[in-house]
Amino acid sequence: MINLETPKKAGALVNQAYQAAAEVFRPISRKYDRAEHTYPAELDMFAALLDGLNSSGEGGAGASGVRRDDKSDAASSGTRNGANLSTVLGTIEMCWGDVGLLLSMPRQGLGNAAIASVANDEQLERFASIWAAMAITEPGCGSDSAAITTTARKDGDHYVLNGEKIFVTAGQRADAVVVWATLDKSKGRAAIKSFVVEKGTPGFEVVRVEHKLGIRASDTAVLRFEDCRVPKENLLGNPEIDTKSGFAGVMQTFDNTRPLVAAMAIGVARAALEETARILAEAGVTVDYDKPANSQHAAAAAYLELEADYESAYLLTMESAWMADNRKPNSLQASMAKAKAGRSVVDITLRCVELAGAVGFTEESLLEKWSRDAKILDIFEGTQQIQQLIVARKVLGKTSAELK
């Protein structure tokens, strides 16, 4: 049975993540927002710690995966609170500090989550120590991941990749990139596979690094693959094209990463709410939880509304992570959590800026930065509109062909 309270065994991890966020991330947050494209050297000290947390199964930042083929059986062994829930809880705390800095953490990229989710045992061991970005989006292909045009042609013991990817988080800094490409365009979604392409591979080029509205501490790159030869062993999972299962293998990655993005949003939203509560208190506005909202100061009533929005997003995210730990299909819940948290963090941070008045629009507070950081959390790993479409298909029992 699901219990949405924070598990006691996760207490130490949550405390460690909070301390790191408070003592390291928060003090340098504004520094690297201003110094866009500068690597935060302070993050190197965390690499070994987070590697240890992930390898122990406790989860650290973004590298844990959803593995449906795990030999343990939740039904027979009882309810489990495992790496997915721990990773989500840790992510919330770290993003309370700074979401851009979390996305810059060595060996904690979204590509690591893809590897952890769909790689075979040999690949898991071989790629255990790399920092992997994930490359999906293309210039002519945004939210519809199934429409990608990057190709992978089998040539002996290699696949030859050709195409261009945009908006790749950590694309310049990471050691490798998990690239989505199609083996046969005529076979549609089923032919899409993911490949680990390591830096330095001939034909792999970082074209440029983008300037952005928010998460400026994190690099976002444009990548090009031109006759890039990748060993066949770097194709993640099953190389066979199964038209019955579609591209469920690569899409399984999203069952893990969407709750993580939701967790990022929750961390940012909580930071904004706490800062706003402090500013309101200094202005003499008291939020009273024992009185109806409509009998309080207008700012207090607005704050209570934002808190309720935050709580609902938080609980949806906890549910999706718990389901992954207990080997329950969580695609619907992952999309619901991502949709709710992505929308909520944008609404919450912008309203907090307004509630703080002039302070909210200046660099005196981090509120204006969080409002900029928030927007990407409603976009990447599937936009708000795509999440709503996925939820509608699941609830109504429609296929992608029936409901577009």
Q: DSSP assignment of 60-82, as one string? A: -SS-----TT-S--HHHH-----
Any idea of the CA torsion for 134, 139, 143, 149, to the nearest 10 degrees? -80
Cα(126)–Cα(124) distance, integer angstroms: 6
Can you give the pLDDT at residue 243? 66
Q: Which residue, chain included where needed, has tokens 């400026």? A: 216
Residue pair 219/171 in contact (Cβ under 8 Å)? The answer is yes
H/E element holding 107?
none
Enumerate domains of the chain plus CATH numbers. Answer: 8-126 (1.10.540.10), 132-234 (2.40.110.10), 248-396 (1.20.140.10)
Query: Could you say which residues of the chain have pLDDT below 70?
Result: 1-2, 4, 46-79, 243-252
Residue pair 56/314 in contact (Cβ under 8 Å)? The answer is no
Angle value at C-alpha 316, between 310 and 320, nearest 5 degrees: 145
Can you give the pLDDT at residue 249? 57
Strands 192-198 and 220-231, sheet pairing: unpaired
H/E element holding 166?
strand 158-169
Cα(44)–Cα(41) distance, integer angstroms: 6
Cα(303)–Cα(296) distance, integer angstroms: 11
Residue pair 251/271 in contact (Cβ under 8 Å)? The answer is no
Cα(161)–Cα(150) distance, integer angstroms: 7
Q: What is the mean pLDDT of the chain?
A: 89
Q: Would you please indicate which residues are annotated as catalytic (active-site) residues? A: 381
Can you give the pLDDT at residue 37? 92
Angle value at C-alpha 141, between 209 and 169, nearest 5 degrees: 30
Angle value at C-alpha 216, between 211 and 217, nearest 5 degrees: 130
> Phi/psi zone of residue 107: left (φ > 0), alpha (ψ -120 to 50 degrees), beta?
left
The phi and psi torsions of 58 (rounded to 5 degrees) equal: -85, -20
Cα(181)–Cα(2) distance, integer angstroms: 37
Side chain identity, residue 68: R
DSSP characters over 201-247: -TTEEEEEE---SS-TTS-EEEEEEEEEEEEGGGB-S--S--TTTTT
Residue pair 219/276 in contact (Cβ under 8 Å)? The answer is no
CA-CA distances (angstroms) from residue 254 to 77, 155, 184, 327, 338? 26, 29, 22, 15, 10
Of 29, 66, 403, 381, the closest CA to residue 216 belongs to 29
Count CA atoms within 13 Å of residue 103 on its CB side: 30
Can you give the pLDDT at residue 7? 84
Q: Model confidence over 53-74: pLDDT tens digits?
A: 555 445 445 545 555 444 444 4
By CB atoms closer than 10 A (0-12, 13-18, 19+), residue 374 is: buried
